[in-house]
Structure 1
Amino acid sequence: MDNVSVVRVFTLSGMNETTNYKLAIFSITLLYYCMILFFNISVIAIIILDEDLHEPMYILLCSFCVNGLYGTTGFYPKFLLDLLSPAPEISYAGCLLQAFVMYSFACCELSHLAVMAYDRYLAICRPLHYHSVMSKRRLSQLVCFSWLTPFCIHSINVILTSRLRLCGSKIPKVFCVNWIIYKLACSEADIFSNSILSYATIIIYVSHGFFVVWTYMHLITNSVKSKDGRVKFMQTCVPHLISLTTFLVVIVFDLMYMRFGSTDLPQGLQNFIAIEFLLIPPLLNPLIYGFKLTKIRNRILSIIHDGRISPFI
């Protein structure tokens, strides 16, 4: 097969700047990853074990936190191992898998935020029809949409990427992404089909963004009409807005820098920009929802007060 690359191992050159601080970075990263695991798993467990929280909003939140675990698991364990390795490398297959996880995680995050916006729109703007529209079947369809659409798109992306003829093996980051692999292709013609899929993906997820804007135009318009609407908006939509804004800022900043940014910046700063979407949203989301949503906050306080989880069972 002429178009199969002979490259079998990539060097993660973005790890070079960590040489003198590996132990400190390893300790901080391990602690941070444990915090991400603890807070996300706590929210998931509370929602699963408490039948009062088996409502669409909380089930979507549960799926949202699962996605946070999925994305961070695709990065942190490998990064921690690389910090202990004298020569950080990743196999071609491992690089493709990590690229798939990174991109599908980001797209799943946006899909979940769009679906959660739709749920809030129904709850606040169409409360009388909420339970008939947001049935168990519709909820299952929305959750499947949030996961399967990114998985299908990026499965095709990975297949196309795996067929590229590569003329380099150095990844100037601390993890793999498709865009960097594209840049290692031997010719522009090799990445034509990948570029078409990339632009199609951008169109799909920009439309997600427009849908969220549309729902919030209706939410804000409806909420200012009554005191109850304003209270419900502040309690359930503000956490969603914070999560949405944070994610969009970090992911757009990363994408813009990856495509148009200067390589003259210190490697450490480049690494931080690259992993912002794996640092901030996965920890912020369970914290902001856990403290802002009344039912979850009350359950957390109940656990702290009683020192046991038995009230959920």
Structure 2
Amino acid sequence: MMNSTQVSYFTLAAYFDTGGFKYLCFMFILSLYMLIVCSNVLLIVVICMNRSLHEPMYLFLCSLFVNELFGSSGLFPFLLVQILSDIHTVSAPLCFLQIYCVHTYGAVEYLNLAVMSYDRYLAICYPLQYNTHMTSSKIATLIALTWLFPCFAMVVLLSLTSPLQLCGNIIYKVYCDTYSVVKLSCSDTNAINVYGLIATFSTIFGSLLLILYSYMKIILVCFSGSKQTRQKAVSTCTPHLVSLLNFSVGACFEVLQSRFDMNSLPNVLRIFLSLYFLTCPPLFNPLVYGLNLSKIRVICKSLISNADN
């Protein structure tokens, strides 16, 4: 039997030999990561540096873009190292650090999207009282809760997971995650399973209830409101719905793959599905909001034109 003190590293078994193509894969992943970093940093700077964008919706967007950087930075540097490595191992502390980053990213993303739906509900359903409802202190509280709750929940989860006695050290993925480590345990994992279910369901269903409530109210107002109200709802809610759907699809892929046997699927497809929620939202969210929100689009165009001059 192998206990936790003996497991100094984990082997990531989902990697396979690509031969000379590993350098092409490395350049592709590096380009993807640089695109994610540049696009998200650009929008964070645009929002922070322009007072006209210091509104609740854009501040929540800024929190979302910071989370995209956080999640992608917890994955891509690790991937780049593993692609060039011939032995796909990772030290136990680094593995648990990646678990913390990946799971915190997922929870913060979903909570942030829920808060953004609540903000759109107030803006569309109570436009005259919006500024009194969405005060600066309330914005700060919502953003703080969006980040602090997942961070604290993950600290507790890791404190339960790291002392586990493990009977192996092979993870059949390209990155570390809690469920893969827990499956290696020789000891009782009931406490971790119960805590994981409570934390997951409170995050998912709490966020989902807020999102459904907000959009039900928005739809009712749109049906009974003017054409201008409907146009405002469509213009501001479409990017949010696209982001929500994109992340939810990716998260569902990851949950299904973790809980069910996917060995019948090709290895490349399994890797793509496991990486979807960590790569596509950080890549597409800046594009979706940068292209659809007129204020951000205009400022970005002026910055690019000034740079060219």
**So what's the TM-score if we normalise by structure 1?**
0.94
Range with greater deviation from structure 2 (90-99 or 224-233): 224-233
Unaligned runs of 5+ in 2: none
- 5+ residue gaps, structure 1: none
Q: What SS is found at the alignment partner of 2:86? A: coil
Structure 2 equivalent of residue 107 of structure 1: 107
Aligned partner of residue 15 in structure 2, secondary structure: helix
1:17–1:267 CA contact under 8 A, matched in 2? no
Aligned to 1:269: 269
Match for residue 132 of structure 1?
132
Aligned pairs for 1:251-266 within 5 A: 251-266=251-266
Q: Distance in 1 between matches of 2:160 and 2:123?
A: 41
Map residues 117-266 of structure 1 onto 2, 5 A cutoff.
117-187=117-187, 189=188, 191-204=189-202, 205-224=204-223, 225-266=225-266
From the superposition, tell whether residues 108 and 19 of structure 1 become closer, same or farther in structure 2 (CA, over 3 Å): farther
**Greater displacement, 177-186 / 249-258:** 249-258
Q: Assess if the C-alpha contact under 8 Å between 2:4 and 2:162 holds in 1.
A: yes
* 1:15 match: secondary structure: coil
1:19/1:213 Cα in 2 relative to 1: closer, same or farther (>3 Å)?
Answer: farther
Q: Which amino acid aligns with 2:218?
A: L
Aligned residue type for 1:210:
L
Q: Distance in 1 between matches of 2:274 and 2:196?
A: 19
TM-score normalised to the size of structure 2? 0.95
Shift of 1:21: 2.5
What amino acid is the match of 2:51?
A: E
Amino acid at match of 2:194: I
Give, in angstroms, the shift of residue 18 of structure 1.
Answer: 4.0
Does the residue aligned with 1:87 lie in a helix, a strand or coil? coil
Q: How many pairs does the alignment contain?
A: 306
Aligned counterparts of 1:197 and 1:17: Cα–Cα separation in 2: 38
Query: Per-residue deviation at 1:265?
Result: 2.0
Q: 2 CA distance for matches of 1:46 and 1:178?
A: 36
Task: Tell me the CA shift for residue 261 of structure 1.
Answer: 3.5
Q: 1:53 to 1:308 in 2, by over 3 A?
A: farther
Aligned to 1:33: 33
**Paired residue for 2:61?**
61
Q: Secondary structure at the match of 1:10?
A: strand
Amino acid at match of 1:120: R
| CA distance in 1: counterparts of 2:222 and 2:35, whole angstroms | 35
Per-residue CA deviations over 1:79-109 (Å, capped at 9, x if unaligned) read 1011111112111111111011111100000
Q: By how many angstroms is 1:56 displaced?
A: 0.7
**Structure 2 letter corresponding to 1:275:** L
- Please state how far the C-alpha of 1:241 moved relative to its aligned partner: 0.4
Separation in 2, partners of 1:285, 1:247: 10
Deviation at 1:278, TM superposition (A): 1.3
Structure 1 residue 144 displacement after superposition: 0.3
Pairwise mapping of residues 15-34 of structure 1 onto structure 2 (< 5 A)? 15-19=15-19, 21-34=21-34
Amino acid at match of 2:210: F
Per-residue CA deviation, residues 143-173 of structure 1 (Å, 9 max, x unaligned), is: 0011011111111111101011001111111
Q: For each residue in 1:104-161, what CA deviation from the matched residue of structure 2 results, as whole angstroms up to 9, or x when unmatched?
A: 1000000000000111011011112211111110000000011011111111111101
Q: Retained in 2: the 8 A contact 1:17–1:268? A: no
Identity %: 36
Partners of 2:3 and 2:167 within 8 A in 1: no
- The whole-number CA distance in structure 2 between the counterparts of 1:98 and 1:82 is 13
Deviation by residue 1:155-199 (Cα, 9 ceiling, x = unmatched): 111110101100111111110000000110014x2x111101111
What CA deviation, in whole Å up to 9, does each residue of 1:278-299 have, x standing for no partner? 1211011010000000100111
**In 1, are the aligned partners of 2:262 and 2:270 still within 8 Å (CA)?**
no
Structure 1 residue identity aligned to 2:184: L
CA distance in 1, matches of 2:183, 2:14: 16
Say what the alpha-carbon RMSD is for the aligned residues.
Answer: 1.6
Partners of 1:20 and 1:264 in 2: CA distance: 27
- Deviations for 1:238-289, whole angstroms, at most 9, x for unmatched residues? 1000000111111012201221132132222111111001121101101000
Which whole-Å deviations, capped at 9, do the CAs of 1:66-88 have from their partners, x for residues lacking one? 00000000000011011111112
